[in-house]
Copies of this chain bind each other. A is one copy, B any other.
């Protein structure tokens, strides 16, 4: 029972960034999104991945590795669309 809950918990926290990435990509607007949140989150899940590697714990490595890639993607989209919107209004 714990394992099933742990698996679902891992899936939800891992894929959470997907709808935010999709929204940013669709609207090209990121004004209200905090880059500090995605920076902190990326740093956190990257450290969890390192922790997983040191402990040789595959589920920690896989879930946090995917999270790291997703959160880096969102962090970069914030700056990409900010720049685009800035140059459009000039």
Contact = CB atoms under 8 A, between A and B. Distances in A.
Interface in A12-43: 12-20, 22-24, 27, 29-34, 36-38, 40-41, 43
A32 B34 contact: no
Give the oligomeric copy count.
2
Q: Is chain A's interface secondary structure helix, strand, loop, or mixed overall?
A: helix
Contacts of A13: 40-41, 44-45, 48
Contact of A30 (B17, B24, B32, B50): B32
A6 B37 contact: no
A44 B44 CA distance: 16
A18 B36 CA distance: 9
Nearest 4 CB-CB pairings of A with B:
A12-B44, A13-B44, A9-B47, A19-B36
Interface of A: 1-2, 5-6, 8-20, 22-24, 27, 29-34, 36-38, 40-41, 43-45, 47-48, 50-51, 54-55
